[in-house]
């Protein structure tokens, strides 16, 4: 790959003075892990094989419904977003796929876009449909819902959009369609709670029928927003019932921010897996609602516990356990590249710590009802600083030991500020 946005020489130059210290830290951690019977190189190999997708929309500054504060050099189209995603993957090495959102990503030639991404070392993850906004010139409004709307025309339009997303995904090389609808109500009595779900299921079945054999349909639940009284697919219960109704290729996607505060998300993960319906994740963190804060910035322990359930699930697979991982954050006050570099590192750290849990000790303590030792089995892994494993895996794959320092030294954003046109002001997450 010749036209990569960050020069390999710059990365190597920044790594050089840090390699000796990294090797020392790696060896010291290796000796500590070996005392517990763990081979650090085997863990590093797991890390090297781990990946999480980045969303195309995450490359831009998010903003809130009150305001958006763009930064100079922010990407203005899917091509510039891809370039930024390539930077994240070049430096961090854990994010080789991009998840697109339609019609937010304006594209004229999908085959050419696939090639453009491949030339940047990127592939494509789940395609996200959008029936929660009206687009200019659209025949039917989603003001009263999309897949669950009383308006048969709006439902049909939403079905057709999703089928079009599948067709786009086929051209890009994706195999998952993620469906999140904002459908719901703001007033008691506004819609019949049962019949709106019936309509959703009928419409979703038409999308399901259009799925290629090797594709999955991922249903993303969300408790509230934009609807504030009831939401059609509000929780994992509605999601798993819908997925079971639709068929084997339909699975549930867990966005960490889409639950009530303090909900036990790791238990939801275990439940979905138990019934073969765990399809994927949108990683982010939250303090109050769907805040879309950076992964692990508020509650990294919860993220670790989620990965602990995933490690259990991996050891006890059901129905082709293969969850898709994606970051879904809104970067309002940081450079999105820096946030996603940092988040990918946090997510990978939690994955790594979960890999270090002594499962035999955990299970033995659970069997003996030894609560404290069961907890300690988790705690021992959680408190290990896995940074040297992550950095070594990155460096060996051509990435940066210190991703943020190397990114800043590259002056990438400043260079883009010279080349790219300015983003307009305004509200909204697009
Ligand atoms: C909804 C959501 C969903 C959308 C994205 C932009 O809150 O999490 O995944 O597609 O935000
Ligand atoms: Mn999401
Ligand atoms: Mn969300």
In the block, which residue shows the tokens 């890999």?
355
- Spatial separation of the C-alpha atoms in residues 184 and 142, rounded to whole Å: 11
What pLDDT sits at residue 80? 98
Separation of CA 235 and ligand 3 centre (Å): 13
Per residue in 266-317, pLDDT tens?
999 999 999 999 999 999 999 999 999 999 999 999 999 999 999 999 999 9
The mean pLDDT of the chain is: 97
Residue nearest to atom 2 of ligand 1 (CA): 180
Task: Indicate if ligand 1 lies below 6 Å from the C-beta of 105.
Answer: no
Per residue in 365-419, pLDDT tens?
999 999 999 999 999 999 999 999 999 999 999 999 999 999 999 999 999 999 9
Residue 93: which of 385, 386, 395 has the closest Cα? 395
Per residue in 219-248, pLDDT tens?
999 999 999 999 999 999 999 999 999 999
What is the pTM (predicted TM-score) of this model? 0.97
- Spatial separation of the C-alpha atoms in residues 409 and 404, rounded to whole Å: 9
- Spatial separation of the C-alpha atoms in residues 16 and 22, rounded to whole Å: 10
How many percent of the chain have pLDDT more than 90?
96
Residue nearest to atom 1 of ligand 1 (CA): 180
What pLDDT sits at residue 424? 72
430, pLDDT greater than 90: no
Number of residues that make up the chain: 430
What pLDDT sits at residue 143? 98
Number of the ligand 1 atom closest to the C-alpha atom of 290? 7
What pLDDT sits at residue 320? 79
Separation of CA 242 and ligand 1 centre (Å): 19
Buried b / exposed e across 113-135, counting CB within 10 Å, b at 16+? bbebbeebebebbbbbbbbeeee
Number of the ligand 1 atom closest to the C-alpha atom of 292? 8
Buried b / exposed e across 348-387, counting CB within 10 Å, b at 16+? bbbbbbbbbbbbebbeebeeeeeeeebeebbebbbebebb
427, pLDDT greater than 60: no
In the block, which residue shows the tokens 């650090």?
40
Q: Is the ipTM of this complex over 0.95?
A: yes
Separation of CA 321 and ligand 1 centre (Å): 23
428, pLDDT greater than 80: no
Nearest-10 Cα torsion for 309, 277, 145, 289? 0
Average pLDDT, stretch 176-183? 98
Residue nearest to atom 11 of ligand 1 (CA): 328
Categorize the per-residue pLDDT at 1 as very low, low, confident or very high, splitting at 50, 70 and 90. Answer: low
Closest ligand to 225 CA? Answer: 1
What pLDDT sits at residue 423? 84
């Amino acid at each position: 790959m010749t036209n990569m946005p960050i020069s390999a020489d710059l990365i190597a130059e920044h790594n050089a003075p840090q390699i000796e210290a990294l090797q020392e830290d790696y060896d010291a951690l290796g000796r500590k892990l070996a005392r517990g019977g763990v081979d650090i190189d085997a863990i590093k190999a797991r890390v090297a094989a781990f990946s999480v997708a980045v969303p195309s929309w995450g490359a831009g500054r998010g903003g809130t419904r009150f305001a958006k504060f763009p930064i100079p050099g922010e990407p203005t189209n899917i091509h510039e977003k891809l370039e930024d995603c390539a930077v994240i993957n070049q430096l961090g090495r854990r994010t080789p796929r991009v998840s697109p959102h339609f019609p937010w990503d304006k594209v004229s030639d999908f085959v050419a876009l696939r090639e453009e991404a491949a030339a940047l070392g990127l592939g494509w993850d789940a395609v996200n449909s959008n029936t929660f906004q009206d687009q200019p010139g659209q025949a039917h409004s989603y003001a009263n819902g999309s897949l669950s709307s009383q308006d048969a025309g709006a439902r049909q339009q939403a079905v057709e959009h999703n089928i079009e997303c599948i067709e786009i995904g086929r051209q890009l090389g994706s195999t998952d369609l993620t469906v999140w609808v904002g459908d719901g109500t703001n007033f008691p009595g506004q819609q019949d709670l049962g019949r709106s779900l019936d309509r959703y299921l009928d419409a979703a079945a038409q999308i399901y029928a259009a799925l290629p054999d090797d594709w999955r349909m991922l249903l993303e639940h969300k408790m509230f927003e934009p609807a504030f009284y009831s939401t059609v697919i509000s929780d994992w219960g509605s999601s798993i019932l819908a997925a079971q109704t639709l068929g084997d290729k339909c699975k549930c996607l867990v966005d960490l921010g889409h639950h009530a505060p303090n909900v036990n998300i790791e238990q939801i993960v275990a439940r979905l897996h138990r019934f073969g319906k765990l399809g994927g994740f949108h990683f982010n963190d939250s303090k109050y609602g769907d805040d879309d804060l950076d992964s692990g910035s508020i509650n990294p322990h919860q993220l670790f516990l989620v990965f602990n359930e995933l490690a259990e699930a991996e050891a006890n697979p059901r129905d082709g356990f293969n969850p898709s991982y994606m970051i879904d954050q809104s970067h309002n006050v940081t450079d999105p590249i820096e946030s996603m570099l940092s988040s990918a590192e946090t997510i990978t750290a939690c994955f790594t710590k979960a890999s270090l849990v002594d499962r035999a000790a955990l299970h033995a303590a659970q069997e003996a009802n030894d609560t404290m030792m069961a907890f300690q089995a988790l705690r021992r892994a959680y408190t290990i600083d896995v940074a040297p494993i992550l950095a070594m895996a990155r460096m060996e794959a051509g990435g940066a030991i210190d991703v943020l320092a190397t990114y800043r030294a590259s002056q990438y954003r400043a260079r883009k500020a010279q080349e790219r046109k300015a983003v307009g002001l305004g509200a909204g997450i697009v």
